[in-house]
Amino acid sequence: MKSENIKKIVISILILLSIFFLDRISKILILNILEETGQVDIYINSFLNFYLVWNKGIGFGLLSSDQDLFYNLGFFSSPIWRNKTFYLGFRSRF
């Protein structure tokens, strides 16, 4: 039983590492294409195309400047406020 679990864990780790390294290799290749040509537009077929896009979403922009101070305060305080009011409302019923 233990050897089967260890075998599953080893296979899972190998799959995880292979996916990680394939991801890294693909990113390096895409950035090399960008350096050589100045743009990355990889056409596979009419259904699948790859375009290089830089992510400037919330994961990279949250708390990046003081310009959105009120937005950031509201973003972080709303779950706290909601949980507190839910707890107080739930507690008052009993």
Contacts for 33 with CB less than 8 Å, ≥ 6 apart: 40, 42
Global pTM reads 0.49
For 39-87, write each residue's pLDDT tens digit. 888 888 888 888 887 766 666 555 555 555 555 566 666 666 566 666 5
* Residue 16 CA: distances (Å) to CA of 10, 26, 30, 85: 10, 16, 21, 42
